[in-house]
Structure 1
Amino acid sequence: MNSVLTALRVFEAVADSQPIGLSELARRLDVPKSTVQRCLKTLHEAGWVRPTSEEGRWSITGRAFTVGSAVAAGDHLRDAALPALSALQSAVGETIHLAVPDGDELVLVERLDSPHQLRAFLALGTRLPLHAAATGKAYLATLPDARIAAYLQSAPTKVTAHTRTDPVRLWNEINLARKRGYATTEEELHEGISAVAVALRDRTGVARACFSISGPSSRLTPELFEEYGSKALLTRDTIERVLR
């Protein structure tokens, strides 16, 4: 039983501070390095944690999606969000995606499809890179500067030819998202798709989820970003009032 509890503590510590190294985990948990290493090995073999591109550091994996979805349902996130998101989808006529944080990525947990034949589509469970997805940029804008800097130092990669990876440009976008309350992307996650997104925060200011309005770039043009951003912010306010 003690070994199980220790492994759970290690998993929670990784989730809380990822990416994180063995020495820091041992220090934070006040557990011998050898014990932490065994726990990491077991969690890795079970598919719950993975080594990152930074040598010797760990983060959690997508297996947390199932648990995260259960938590989202259990704390009424979907119940609170879906009525307002459905109203938003009807107003703009584009696909709405709802995603929750999972380390240095977001995981898609809900989708409201556009009635148009040509539309944005992401499968539930899709993992979204923070620097390439509008929801990811909206999430980044809620994080402390130190966590953003650490993420940008991990050398984000291009997902499409339009993905922005330059740290200076990404910082500018994050600061702009902080200023106006919403983030945007143009064909950075998928060719031909643009999006506008905002973050949903709890009463402490921590982002619990993000949602986006996504559609073909031929229809969701930059001229609509401000209008859709305003609609998304009003929807965010409605959902956050219910959540609180």
Structure 2
Amino acid sequence: MTKVGGAAEGSGKRDRKGAQGRGFRVPTVQKLGSLLQLFIPDAVDESACSICKLQDIARHLGWDDGTTHRFLVSLTEIGMLERTSDDRYRIGVLAVQLASVYVAGSRLRGVVIRKIEELSAATCLTADIAALQCGAMVVIASRQGSTPLTSRCMLGEKVPLHATAGGKAILSQLDDGEVEELCRGKLVALASNTRTTMSSLMRDIAAARESRFVGTLSEYAEGLRSIAIPLPAGCFGVRPAALACSGPAILSGSGWEIAEEELRAFAAQLHSGAF
């Protein structure tokens, strides 16, 4: 008899609800998750997404080649992965289908996605939706801006929480203990104004909690400005998310003023339950 997550398998009608409450896990599913995480791009570690050959995947995960091959073949057969002519693996069509179903499953998600289209068109800035996933901010929808110098994140890309307005908007919805657990030891300096101490980061988060608005300048990249509002848990998954605009700090016209006005108004609507 094998134990999984503290609960014995094959025990008949045991308290499944209780087992789930204690963190019941299926090892095979956990392994699949670890493998699929390798295909998510990382904004800081650009080499992470280059792990796409069988031997590279096996070495990175510490698996033998045979086990890795079985997992890759199974994921390829169901369409979650695709195998290229040069024996590399990449995300498959099933992932796109699931993402489409996910977006269509909530009226509020549709409202927020339309909002990034409106924001980008009105301001020429890049507008993104991002959510908390695996200890990072993951971009799940984006509309690229049209300024000469644009800010752009790949869909699915993992971005540090501590150096972006969107990341801080997400952190503002967590308690202090969760923030410290997610960020301690990860406050890497990326630009001249990056917060590299927990005390400075916590001050920003406290201000974000009070105003439901975040602004950053030269924290993720020099000359890059971003502003964001929190999106409540349930809007994009069970974890908090954020809606952000980003682009060059020096921008001709009234793009930044429009972006801030629109985001603050949208945050008030969300908070009031207008949607």
Give the structure-2-normalised TM-score: 0.59
Q: Identity, % of aligned pairs?
A: 23
Q: 2:172, 2:188 → 1: CA distance?
A: 19
Residue of structure 2 aligned with 1:182, choices 199, 213, 217 = 213
Contact residue 132 and residue 138 of structure 2 kept, 8 A: yes
Residue of structure 2 aligned with 1:191, choices 222, 232, 243 = 222
> Which residue is 1:211 aligned to?
243
Q: 1:218, 1:84 → 2: CA distance?
A: 23
Q: Deviations over 1:124-165 (max 9, x none)?
A: 222111101110000000111210122232342223343211
- Tell me, yes or no, if structure 1 residue 137 matches structure 2 residue 126: no
> Which residue is 2:35 aligned to?
46
Q: 1:213, 1:78 → 2: CA distance?
A: 17
Give the structure-1-normalised TM-score: 0.66
Residue of structure 2 aligned with 1:100, choices 131, 137, 143 = 131
- Tell me, yes or no, if structure 1 residue 84 matches structure 2 residue 115: yes
1:90 alignment partner, SS class: helix
1:165 alignment partner, SS class: coil
Could you say which structure has the larger radius of gyration?
2
User: How many residues matched?
Assistant: 204
- Structure with more of its chain in helix, by fraction: 1
Quote how far apart the aligned CAs of 1:209 are. 2.4
- Aligned-residue CA RMSD in angstroms? 4.0
Contact residue 141 and residue 175 of structure 1 kept, 8 A: yes
Q: 1:30, 1:203 → 2: CA distance?
A: 22
Contact residue 165 and residue 228 of structure 2 kept, 8 A: yes
1:194 alignment partner, SS class: strand
* AA at the equivalent of 1:42: K
Written as runs of structure 1 = structure 2, the 5 A alignment for 1:119-138 is 119-138=150-169
Q: 1:227 to 1:171 in 2, by over 3 A?
A: farther
Quote how far apart the aligned CAs of 1:198 are. 0.7
Residue of structure 2 aligned with 1:118, choices 141, 149, 169 = 149
Contact residue 88 and residue 235 of structure 1 kept, 8 A: no
